[in-house]
Each structure stands twice: as structure tokens, then as C-alpha cells.
Amino acid sequence: MSTPKKLGPLQFILLAIPCVAVLIIPYFNKLEPSVFGIPFFYWWQLVWVPLSGVFIAIVYKMVVPAGSGD
Amino acid sequence: MNVVATVVFVALFVGIAVLGFASAHWRKGDMNHLHEWGLGGRRFGTWITWFLIGGDLYTAYTFVAVPALVFGAGALGFFALPYTVLVYPMVFAILPRLWIVARKHNYITASDFVAGRYGSPALALAIAVTGIVATMPYIALQLVGIQVVIGGLGFSTQGLMGDVPLVIAFVILAAFTYTSGLRAPASIAVVKDLLVYITVIALIIVVPYKLGGFGNIFAAIPKEHLLLPPVKDGNLGLQSFYPTLAFGSALALMLYPHATTAVLSAKGPNTLRRNWVFLPAYSFMLGLIALLGYMAYASGIAKMPDLAPYFKQYGPQFAMPGLLLHYFPSWFVGIGFAAVAIGALVPAAIMSIAAANLFTRNIYKAYINPECTHAKETDMAKLVSLIVKFGALLFIVFLPLTYAIQLQLLGGILILQTLPAIVSGIYTRWFDAKALLLGWAAGLAWGIWAASLNGFKTSGYALHIAGMVIPAYIGLYALVLNFVVAIVATVVIRMVGASNDADATVAADYAG
């Protein structure tokens, strides 16, 4: 079984981006722009849920070699 | 009584019970070993692990409590979103390392790891006791979800007779957990999650359609509820409480014994890494569930004559069941309510197994009967899982509900204080065990004191510093204190040469 690579600075930044995005309250604590009637505060945090999965997937691809088992 | 909904509900519940008992034979292993009963033989692949962790962390109580909080408190209730966004990026690297070292040394619990890493039974005992104490009220709270939906079916949940359906549900839960161990919640989680997804998707499409779109729903909510209030006179208010509550809760989540149990039952470290990619699907659903709180508010169901009595009895917790009752035919109400009730059984089973593993490994075997055989160890864990559930049941039947809620809130603060020992230990052996114990004690003492200031009703503490008031999650402030004490004490203990460098693990045990 090949061993996954260690996380480097780039991977840490990629993992940190979704975390920072949902903690910067002053940036998203507002009603506009709303989408389909959903205020910014709500859709911004909702959108970051699937986006966090995308960022994690990118890091996974970078550090786990294909076919490295369970 | 709602006959059609009750028939569907009971049929699904019986089906689940049969599945729970049958799962003992699923990928059968030697059930005389604790890692078979208590960890499913560490053989669950990517999909089963996804359902198991999802069913474990996103509990029935969550489905009832999150919309209730949004319904009652507005924007603050949405903290569940940043909370669950933060979890998976943070644990990406940490938990696979724990899995690898646990596999190597056959560690079943986080306390097993701490005992091995630091050669300190005392520190391991502290971690184990904290885990058990934090888990008990959590199990009790799962019963609340069941109670609310049984009430929604039209049965009285008051008086001793009112507790009968709850007792039946728990006897079934206890029996299949006893025979099948972790395999039972793992197989049930698959069915439960499908029911939950169907229910939530139906709610999120039908209700906004009937209410004329999200624009109308949000327009009906008072403006001051929609956003976190602005900073006023140097008091950050919810603007600091909201992110610290989310961050602290995210840190605490994976320290809970039931989370460790689900994580260690995975087949391998890459199974976990893949899961971090796909588990946010549950968080997205949780976000949609949170919005149900606003839909319940906008629809005015709390004031409708047929539903008002329920809201009077169960408060905002009836928001989600109320929407189902008002907008859906009876047969679908049965499915939705079954999703909540079965959704309570899965985490309750895993939590009781996790608490039983902790007691057996880190109290019974460590202090009472070190020579016990594998079979004896497993028997003890099965017995303790029964006692733990019985305790939770007594808790709900005989004590006011507010006690369970307050203890669960306190449990989050307590479990967070095990972070320095467990998470630091996964990376470094720099800390001294005695110093970690001191830090843990300081964090616990301050955390309990701070929570007592507001009668254990909320988990915030307002720090006054440099003319500012910074309210934040107590658990996080306590964790900072915990780390400071542990670092200072480690340095002092090293200086006087009293450190204990025992370590059953080596660097190579963590890689893979």
C-alpha cells in the first residue's frame, strides 16, 4: 500500500479556506444580495457546505495516490 | 390518534428492529472479541462508514432541536452550518492518524490511545470518565426526539402511561445492541438516512411551494431575527458568540466517544479521508432542516387550532413535526416521524456502545479486573451498554427535560477539555501526562463555574477585557486555559526532572 503524502502549506491553505469563509461574520452578516429570496447570510453559509467538500476533494486527490487501498 | 400515520410508523419501526437483530450475522466475526462487538471488526467500507458517521453525528435530536432554535431564536440557530463546515477540513489529517495507531495497538477507545501514548492510567481514566459523563445526557436527549413524534401521532406523552411507547422503543434498542453490537446501528443507519433524506427533500420542496417561495418565507420573519445583532458599545454580542460556538462545537464533535467509535470502525485511513469529502452532504441537509424553522414560523402553524396544543406542550420543538402534520398526507407523516424515531435509535446505540467500550477498557480492565479474558471483556461491555441505556431512560422518565438539555450543554464543554491530551498526542509526545491532567482539571473547573453563572442555561461567557465585552463559547475559553496550564506545567515538570517519558507507540505507528 503506497503511503499518502504529508500535507504541505498549499494543502493547509486549501483546507483553511472554507473554515475562514464561514467565520468572517462581519462580511456575511447582511441581507443583500439575496438569491431566490434567501438572504445573503443564509445562502453564503449554505453554499460553503458543498464547496467545503470540493476543497477537501482537491486535497484528497493531491495527497492520496490512486489505488492506495482502504 | 392518527391511525394511518401510526400504522406506517409502527411497520417501519418493526422492520428496523428485525434488521437490527439480523445484522449480528452480517460479515460475521468472532463476537467474543470486543473489537468485533464494539467496532464491527473494523471492516466498514466507504459507504457504510458514510451512513454510520452520518447517522451518528446528525442525530434525531438535531433534526428537532435545530429548526426549534431557528424558529425561536432566528439567526443564532444557523450556527449549526459553520459548525459542520468546520469539522471535516479540521479532522482531515488528524483522525486517519488516530485510526492507524489504534489499529496497530488494538486501541478501541481514545482513552486506550492516551493510556498507551502517555503511559498514564490516571490521565486515561480522566479522559474515559469525561467521555462517559458527556455521553449519558446525549443518549437521554435522543429520547426527546422519539417523545415529540409519539406525541405528534396523537398519543399522550404525559404521566407514566405516556412513557410506555418510549420504554418499548428503548427495550428494542437495548436488545439489538446487546446481540449485534455496532453492526446493528450500521445497518439501520442506511435505512434511517434514506428515510431522512426523503422526508427532508419533500419538506423543502412542498412547504416553500405552498408558502409562495423563499421570498415570502423570509419576508414573514421579523427583521431583527434574520441577522446577528450589530456590535454595540464595545460588546461584540452574538458576533463573537456565534463563530466561537461554531468553532468550539466543531472541535468537540470528534472528541465524543461515539464519534471515535464510528471512526475506528472504518476499514482504513483512506476510507475516512474519502468520507470527509462526502459527509458535508449531511451538513447541507442540516442547513435545509434549519430553514424549516423559518418555514414553520412563516406558515403560522403554531397558532392553528389543531396544532396549537402541541406547540403549547412541546414548544418550538414541534416546528418540524408540525410542518409534516399540516402539509402532508397521513401515510407520509408516518414515514417522516419514523425517520426521526429511528434517527434516535442509531446514535443512541452507538453512544451506548462507546460508553460501554470506555467503561470496560479504561475502568473495568484498567482498575478492576486486569486479567480478564477477551470473552469476559466483551460480556462486560454488553452488560454496561444495557445499564447505560437504562440510566438514560430513567433520566428522561423521572427528571425534568431541562436537566438533560443543560447537562448535554455542559457535556460539550467537558468533552472539549480532552482535546489537548488526545489531539496533541496524535502529533507530539511533548506534553507531560501530569501537566495534561492539570490542564484538564483547570479547564473543567473553570468551565463548570462559568456555566453555573447563568444557571447552566446557556453556554456563553462574557469576557471583559480592555473596555470590550467579548461573549464566547465557554468550552473554548476553558480550552485556552487548559492549554496554558498544560504548557506551563510541562515546562515546570521538565525543569524539575519529574517528567514521565513512557510511550507505547513509535513514530512509524502513525503513518500510512
Instruction: With respect to residue A42, please indicate whether it lies within any of the assigned structural domains.
Output: yes
Q: Closest residue of A to B46, CA-based?
A: A70
Query: Dihedral angle at the C-alpha atoms of B485, B488, B489, B491, nearest 10 degrees?
Result: 160
The whole-angstrom distance between A53's CA and the closest CA on chain B is: 5
Whether B378 has a pLDDT exceeding 60, the answer reads yes
Q: Taking CB atoms and an 8 Å limit, are B247 and A23 in contact across chains? A: yes
Instruction: With respect to residue A51, please indicate whether it lies within any of the assigned structural domains.
Output: yes
Measured in whole angstroms, the distance separating CA B277 from the mean position of its chain's CA atoms is 20
Could you tell me the pLDDT band of residue B29, with boundaries at 50, 70 and 90? confident
| Bond preceding residue A33 cis, omega within 30 of 0 | yes
Could you tell me how many residues make up chain A?
Answer: 70
The whole-angstrom distance between B24's CA and the closest CA on chain A is: 23
Sign for the CA dihedral angle at B186, B191, B197, B200 comes to negative
The whole-angstrom distance between B79's CA and the closest CA on chain A is: 9
Question: What span, in angstroms and rounded, lies between the C-alpha atoms of B483 and B428?
Answer: 14
Interval B177-188: pLDDT, tens: 998 999 999 999
Classify each residue of B133-151 as buried b or exposed e, where b means 16 or more C-beta atoms within 10 Å of its C-beta: ebbbbbbbbbbbbbbbbbb
Question: What span, in angstroms and rounded, lies between the C-alpha atoms of B342 and B328?
Answer: 20
Question: What span, in angstroms and rounded, lies between the C-alpha atoms of B144 and B14?
Answer: 20
Which residues in chain A have Cβ-Cβ distances shorter than 8 Å to B278? 53
Whether B22 has a pLDDT exceeding 60, the answer reads yes
For chain A, say whether B90 makes contact (Cβ under 8 Å): yes
Q: Taking CB atoms and an 8 Å limit, are A45 and B270 in contact across chains? A: no
Question: What span, in angstroms and rounded, lies between the C-alpha atoms of B264 and B184?
Answer: 16
Could you tell me the pLDDT band of residue B445, with boundaries at 50, 70 and 90? very high
Instruction: With respect to residue A1, please indicate whether it lies within any of the assigned structural domains.
Output: no
ipTM for the predicted complex: 0.94
DSSP B169-221: HHHHHHHHHHHHTTHHHHHHHHHHHHHHHHHHHHHHHHHHHHTT-HHHHHHTS
Interval A19-51: pLDDT, tens: 999 999 999 999 989 998 899 999 999 999 999
Percent pLDDT > 90 in chain B is: 61
Q: Taking CB atoms and an 8 Å limit, are B246 and A22 in contact across chains? A: yes
Q: Taking CB atoms and an 8 Å limit, are A68 and B270 in contact across chains? A: yes
pLDDT of residue B455: 86
pLDDT of residue A2: 58
pLDDT of residue B226: 93
CB-nearest to A57 from B242, B271, B277 is: B277
pLDDT of residue B343: 87
Q: Taking CB atoms and an 8 Å limit, are B85 and A48 in contact across chains? A: yes
Interval B51-103: pLDDT, tens: 999 988 888 778 888 999 899 889 999 999 999 999 999 999 899 999 999 99
Mean pLDDT of A39-67: 94
Residues B247, B251, B252: CA angle, nearest 5 degrees: 115
For chain A, say whether B47 makes contact (Cβ under 8 Å): no
Q: What domains appear along chain B, each with residue ranges and CATH number?
A: 3-230+242-399 (1.20.1730.10)
Q: Closest residue of A to B279, CA-based?
A: A53
Instruction: With respect to residue A37, please indicate whether it lies within any of the assigned structural domains.
Output: yes
Which residues in chain A have Cβ-Cβ distances shorter than 8 Å to B239? 25-26, 29
Among B83, B263, B277, B294, most A C-beta atoms within 10 A, so best to mutate, is B277
Question: Could you tell me which of B20, B49, B91 has the C-alpha nearest to residue B282?
Answer: B49
Mean pLDDT of B300-329: 91
Could you tell me the pLDDT band of residue B430, with boundaries at 50, 70 and 90? very high
- Cell numbers for B300, please give them: 403560522
Question: What span, in angstroms and rounded, lies between the C-alpha atoms of B228 and B422?
Answer: 34
Whether B402 has a pLDDT exceeding 80, the answer reads no
The whole-angstrom distance between B327's CA and the closest CA on chain A is: 21
Contact (Cβ atoms closer than 8 angstroms) between residue B119 and residue B504: yes
pLDDT of residue A69: 81
Instruction: With respect to residue A32, please indicate whether it lies within any of the assigned structural domains.
Output: yes
The whole-angstrom distance between A18's CA and the closest CA on chain B is: 7
Q: Closest residue of A to B77, CA-based?
A: A42
Whether B158 has a pLDDT exceeding 80, the answer reads no
Q: Taking CB atoms and an 8 Å limit, are A52 and B85 in contact across chains? A: yes
Classify each residue of B58-67 as buried b or exposed e, where b means 16 or more C-beta atoms within 10 Å of its C-beta: bbbbbbbbbb
Contact (Cβ atoms closer than 8 angstroms) between residue A35 and residue B68: no
The whole-angstrom distance between A39's CA and the closest CA on chain B is: 8
Contacts 24+ apart (CB under 8 A), B363-370: B363/B125, B363/B128, B363/B129, B366/B115, B366/B121, B366/B124, B366/B125, B367/B121, B367/B125
pLDDT of residue A40: 96
Interval B481-507: pLDDT, tens: 999 999 999 999 999 988 888 888 888
Total domains in the fold of chain A: 1
> What is the extent of the structural domain holding A46?
9-63
Interval B202-219: pLDDT, tens: 999 999 999 999 999 999
Average pLDDT score, chain B: 91
φ/ψ of residue B506, rounded to 5: -125, 165
A/B interface, count of CB pairs below 8 Å: 122
Percent pLDDT > 70 in chain A is: 97
Contact (Cβ atoms closer than 8 angstroms) between residue B43 and residue B27: yes
Which residues in chain A have Cβ-Cβ distances shorter than 8 Å to B227? 29-31, 39, 41
Percent pLDDT > 70 in chain B is: 100
Q: Which has the minimum average pLDDT: A37-51, B41-55, B154-168, B416-430?
A: B154-168
CB-nearest to B268 from A42, A50, A69 is: A69
The whole-angstrom distance between A33's CA and the closest CA on chain B is: 13
* 3-state SS assignment for residue B238: helix
* Helix, strand, coil % over all residues of chain B, rounded to 5: 80, 5, 20
Among B42, B46, B81, B85, most A C-beta atoms within 10 A, so best to mutate, is B85
Q: Taking CB atoms and an 8 Å limit, are B274 and A48 in contact across chains? A: no
Instruction: With respect to residue A20, please indicate whether it lies within any of the assigned structural domains.
Output: yes
Whether B120 has a pLDDT exceeding 80, the answer reads yes
CB-nearest to B278 from A4, A46, A53 is: A53
For chain B, say whether A45 makes contact (Cβ under 8 Å): yes
